Amino acid sequence: MLVLVAPGQGAQTPGFLTPWLDLPGAADRLAAWSDAIGLDLAHYGTQADADQIRDTAVAQPLLVAAGLLSAAALGTDTFTAGAAGVPGAVAGHSVGEFTAAAFAGVLDDTAALRLVRKRGLAMAEAAAITQTGMSALLGGDPETTVPHLEKLGLTPANVNGAGQIVAAGTMEQLAALEADKPEGVRRVVALKVAGAFHTHHMTPAVDVLAEAAAELSPGDPKITYVSNKDGRTVDTGSEVLARLVGQVANPVRWDLCMETFKELGVTALVEVCPGGTLTGLAKRALPGVKTLALKTPDDLDAARELIAEHSAA
């Protein structure tokens, strides 16, 4: 069984979309999305520097667009359950959940991008209230790490499994973490994000997103959708949308998503562009599962072979 996953914020790098725009129809597709959301996605994906694409309001729609563009190049952007080449399940990490929602047919591509554009703007505004950030902790035991973070006033905003937790809070709290690592943690790595996402610092963005989501008419997932909230599968579009809204201010439980992948019988995992982060976690947490990250169009043929070998049909 194949799982198709989409990465979250921090996966972007300067120029990462450049080779994808050489594919037939890709530039036109990106231009149409750019017009729909009022953001020049091609510019930010090809010419902008690291600081410019670190901006939350830019990074989030850029990542969703990249995931959708790479899936279209794969031929896996529109799914019908039971058809050839269809994954058994989809999931996304943080903002990648919007990409996954589009894969599952809950939202069409343009609706997903419009909603995530509003999400990015609202989260950027919330992040501007207090200087906050996020840092990945490599190594350690969650039973030791989580209480230590809470003692420092930090939130375990991403519990990613495979020995990785991402802490979020004020810059002062993160500095204290650098000076006082939990037992067993080897490194603390600052992430390329502009706020303490998935914490109470993002509460102001929830109401904004809820208002925008109320205008949509989501479809029920056409294939299995796995949620960041608790790793459970979700059967209705209204529940997927409600979870997308609430997840802004609540921790991402990617560890539980991977546990669900195991229960579903995952044998292969493909991560859409800009792939790498989630396949890295899967290699450690899902031994024996074949993984592939879409970084450039050069990866497409290998991904198609893996999908054909491990898809639902």
Q: Which of 34, 70, 94, 135 is catalytic?
A: 94
Ranges of each domain in the chain: 2-127+199-310, 132-190
Predicted TM-score of the model (pTM): 0.93
Q: How far apart are CA 78 and CA 93, in angstroms?
A: 20
Q: Which of 34, 135, 148, 198 is catalytic?
A: 198
User: What is the residue-level pLDDT of the chain in tens, covering all 313 positions?
Assistant: 999 999 999 899 999 999 999 999 999 999 999 999 999 999 999 999 999 999 999 999 999 999 999 999 988 655 554 455 789 999 999 999 999 999 999 999 999 999 999 999 999 999 999 999 999 999 889 899 999 999 999 999 999 998 889 999 999 999 999 999 999 999 999 987 789 999 999 999 999 999 999 999 999 999 999 999 999 999 999 999 999 999 999 999 999 999 999 999 999 999 999 999 999 999 999 999 999 999 999 999 999 999 999 975 4
CATH topology of domain 2-127+199-310: Malonyl-Coenzyme A Acyl Carrier Protein; domain 2 (3.40.366)
> Is residue 198 annotated as a catalytic residue, yes or no?
yes
Q: Hey, what CATH class is 132-190 in?
A: alpha beta
> Is residue 310 annotated as a catalytic residue, yes or no?
no
Q: How far apart are CA 74 and CA 299, in angstroms?
A: 10
Q: How far apart are CA 210 and CA 208, in angstroms?
A: 6
Q: How far apart are CA 33 and CA 173, in angstroms?
A: 38
